[in-house]
Amino acid sequence: MKDFTLQRYELYLRVLKGKFKGSVPFRELLGRGLPSRFCAIRHDVDRRTYRALDMARVEHKLGLVASYYFRVPYTFDVEVIRAIEGLGHEVGYHYENLSETDGDVYKALVDFAEKLEQLRRVATITTCCMHGRPLKPYDNRDLWRDPVRHNLLTERFGMLGELYLDIDYTDIAYITDTGRNWTSGRANRRDHVSSSVPASFGSSEELLAYFENKPHPRLVFQVHPERWTDSRVGHAAQWALDTATNMAKQGVNLLRR
C-alpha cells in the first residue's frame, strides 16, 4: 500500500487506536501536566483545505479526535473549518505573523489579534502553533519567547498555549511527515522539537511496525493533510511539489550553514 494515501493513513490510525484506545486534542495537553500515556494527532493545514476535511472524516469514522491548525487568510476556509469542528475535532490557529510583518513585533501582535478574532468568529480557538515559512528568515515563535509577551498569549488572548513553546517534548515521540518522509529532521528547518525519544523511520513499513509493536507511551503524530490523497493524479502532483520544496529547503539550509 502506497504511503501518503488516506487508505494508508487509516491503517496507521487503526493501529494507534488499538494501542492508545483513542486520541486527545492539544487543548487537553496544554496548561496542565502531561498524562503518562496519550496519542495526539496534529494537522497543520498549510494549503488544500479540502484534503483536511477528507482526513477529518476518516478520523471521525474511527472515533478519533485530532487538532487542525489553520492559516489566516491562506487556509481560512469557513465551510471546512466549521465542518471539521462539527466532527468533534479541535481547531487552532497556525500563525505566521512575524513573517507577515517582516519581523516587526508590534505589528505582528496586532496581526495575531486580528486574525485570531477572525478565526474565533468561526470556531473555538484555544491553542496555536507557528507556521514555518521556509523561505523567510523569521521564526514565528519568537513572538512569544519574551515572558511578558508570552503572558499576553494567555492573559490577553485567552489561549492555553503554543504547541512548540508550551509542551515539553523531552519524553514524547514526535513523529512527523514534514519533508514527505518519516526521517524527522532532514528537510525540516524549523519543524523539530527537542525530544530524547528516537522517532525516525526509514520507510512506511518501519513506521507501521513501530506503531504495531511498542510505540512510546507519549506520542504526537504530526501529519500535513495536503500531502495525503487517494487520487493517483493528486498523489503524483503532490509528490512532485514536495520534492521540489525539499530541494529548495535544502538549498536554503546549505546557504545558511
Task: Give the interface with Zn ion as residue ranges (CB under 5 A).
Answer: 44, 46, 131
Cα separation, 40 vs 60, whole angstroms:
14
Q: Which neighbouring-strand residues pair with 68? A: 43, 91
| Distance (Å, whole) CA 128 – CA 130 | 7
Nearer to Zn ion, 38 or 164 (CB): 164
Q: How far is the CB of 122 from Zn ion (least distance, A)?
A: 19
User: Between residues 211 and 238, which has the closer beta carbon with respect to Zn ion?
Assistant: 238
Q: Which residue is nearest to Zn ion (CB)?
A: 131
Rg from Cα positions in the chain: 17
- The minimum distance between CB 197 and Zn ion, in angstroms, equals 23
| Beta carbon of residue 247, minimum distance to Zn ion (angstroms, whole number) | 18
Nearer to Zn ion, 75 or 211 (CB): 75
* Smallest distance, Zn ion to C-beta of residue 57, A: 21
CB of 44 to Zn ion, least distance (A): 4
Shortest distance (Å) from residue 32 CB to Zn ion: 26
Judged by CB, which is closer to Zn ion: 134, or 234? Answer: 134
List C-alpha distances in Å: 73 to 102, 106, 129, 132.
17, 19, 15, 15
The nearer residue to Zn ion, 48 or 216, going by C-beta atoms, is 48
Residue with smaller CB distance to Zn ion, 12 or 70:
70
